[in-house]
Amino acid sequence: MNRTTRPVRPLGPRAMLASMALVEVASGATQQYLPPILPGLGTQAGFGTAQQNWIIVVQMASCAVLTPVLSRLGDGFGYRRLLRASIVMVVLGSLVMALWPTLPFLTLGAALQGGVVGFMPLMIGILRHQQGEAASRRGIGVLVGALLLAVGCAGIVAGAVGARDARLGLWIGVGAGVLGLVAGWLLPDGATPAPEARRFDVPGFVLLTVGLVGVVLALAQGATWGWASAATVGCGLVGAAALAGWWGLELRVAQPLVDVRMFRNPRVAVLSVVTFCVAAVTIGSIAFNATFLGAAPATVGYGIGLNATAIGWALLPMTVASVAASALSPVLLRRLGERATVAAAGVTAAVGFGLLVALHTALTHYLIASLFIGVALGLFESVTRTLTVEAVAPEETATAAGVNELVLSLGAAVGSAVLGAALAAHTGPAGHVALGGYTTGWALCAAAGLAAALAVLKLRPAAPAASYAAVPEGAHQ
């Protein structure tokens, strides 16, 4: 009896969105499972607090470099193809870290995990092609919700596993990556790639990479090498020169890696300053704060002395506050206006970190401060992304979103590096960080939050009346 082979049915809208949500669960888990287990990994592998923060610095820098690369390649070679490649990068990075949990391989794995930054923008490309603009807005809300929930839960799960064995906690990243790989492989393709988008700006990519690596390396290692040392000054100068050359190049090429002309728009410029500053302190401080929570008072004279499980729970209130603030941001924009809402992100960041400078001897102090920091995180993720897109013409929406993502990643990378430098500058001969490393870092974060709030004074009103009825809440990726 002959059997007719039936073609594989494409995923329906709900099944496709469910698969995308699983990919974002993998994204959230990848972004959050490391901080609660880093103190334990440092003890087991024999590296200190500054090196623990360095791992996150590398991951953030990788995200900053890969943000425009993956988006650009997705336009030219297909969103699904680049999404799969991004997920494979994350799986490989997580696997390297789990198999060889030493500082060099943890650093390599963190760099590969930077591919997580491509998940959200590439899936949005697929979503818009498959379901149209209106449905994609609803879908983005679902994806963001899945991301934020995964971020909150991953810290707790990693903490619980890491409390028994920090190295075992590294396998959470592998499991999350495999989940994302399976779900991502089921997704349909996006729009037909545009041939002209395949003209990848290789010189721009090289200059951006050299620039970011040079500047971040100088900031992260300056205290260890010496701020006036040849290595620090050389890295800083090379990085700054490369970034200056990259900026000039992007203004001249027809198909730039990043359209820096967008910053000539005054609203985009101000919102980018806010995004950079608040991302630097809220996202860039996650691992920094986790190491403080794990510090044992009996050993170093400060800290809360939490194990990995407790660190995961202690990080949860900030996530809850960020979800709530993100959900309320459309209402705040309508009722308070743009300036007040955007300024609130900087003010709450300044208040939260200012509280930590003054009060940091009890877990209650940290939890109260983390609520303010979480509000800042949720507000800036949602509001700056929304207003940046609304500040440009409709045909420039994707470009504006990409610029915002790049600025966010840059802020997180620089913030992590600066806070790592604060720890390194206060590290003693025995490898212990003095309390001044943390108070200095928190003071810098409070100052950056205040700078963001002051920058909002330059925010000009939008020319047309804006509608916030269907604002998609935002997350890191």
Rounded CA separation 97/115 (Å): 15
Amino acid identity for residue 456 in this structure: V
Rounded CA separation 124/201 (Å): 23
Answer for the pair 16, 181: CB distance below 8 angstroms, yes or no: no
- Provide DSSP, 142-197: HHHHHHHHHHHHHHHHHHHHHHH-HHHHTHHHHHHHHHHHHHHHT----SPPPGGG
pLDDT value, residue 7: 44
pLDDT value, residue 461: 74
Rounded CA separation 438/359 (Å): 12
pTM of the model: 0.74
Rounded CA separation 218/236 (Å): 5
Answer for the pair 453, 353: CB distance below 8 angstroms, yes or no: no
- Kindly give, in sequence order, each residue whose CB lies less than 8 Å from that of residue 172, ignoring residues fewer than 6 positions away: 29, 33, 154, 157, 158, 161
Answer for the pair 377, 325: CB distance below 8 angstroms, yes or no: yes
Structural domain boundaries in the chain: 13-190+257-458, 201-256
User: Is 433 strand, coil or helix?
Assistant: strand
Answer for the pair 129, 78: CB distance below 8 angstroms, yes or no: no
pLDDT value, residue 255: 78
Rounded CA separation 476/378 (Å): 10
Q: Which of 51, 55, 33 has its CA nearest to residue 161?
A: 33
pLDDT value, residue 299: 83
- Kindly give, in sequence order, each residue whose CB lies less than 8 Å from that of residue 32, ignoring residues fewer than 6 positions away: 150, 151, 152, 154, 155, 158, 286, 315
Q: Which of 223, 34, 211, 186 has its CA nearest to residue 113?
A: 34
List the structure tokens of 104: 């060099």
Q: Which residues of 376-395 are buried (b: 16+ CB within 10 A; e: fewer)?
A: bbbbbbbbbbbbbbbbbeee
Answer for the pair 471, 144: CB distance below 8 angstroms, yes or no: no
Taking only the tens of pLDDT, the chain with its 477 residues reads: 444 444 445 667 778 888 888 998 999 888 888 877 887 888 877 777 667 777 877 887 788 788 778 877 777 777 888 899 999 999 999 999 999 988 889 989 999 998 998 887 788 777 767 765 555 556 666 776 678 778 878 878 887 887 788 888 899 999 999 999 999 888 877 666 666 556 778 888 899 889 888 887 787 677 677 778 888 899 889 999 999 999 999 888 877 877 788 888 888 889 999 999 999 999 888 878 988 998 888 888 888 988 777 887 888 888 888 878 877 887 888 888 888 999 999 999 999 999 999 998 899 999 999 999 999 998 887 788 778 767 766 545 556 666 777 888 788 878 888 888 888 888 776 667 888 899 999 999 999 999 999 999 988 776 543 443 334 333 444
The CA-CA-CA angle for residues 360, 361, 363, to 5°, reads: 85
Place of tokens 């791992």: 55
Q: H or E segment at 259?
A: none
Rounded CA separation 448/136 (Å): 34
Tell me the sheet residues that pair with 427: 433
Place of tokens 């995180």: 377
DSSP secondary structure letter of residue 457: G
Task: Report the CATH superfamily, name and number, of domain 13-190+257-458.
Answer: MFS general substrate transporter like domains (1.20.1250.20)
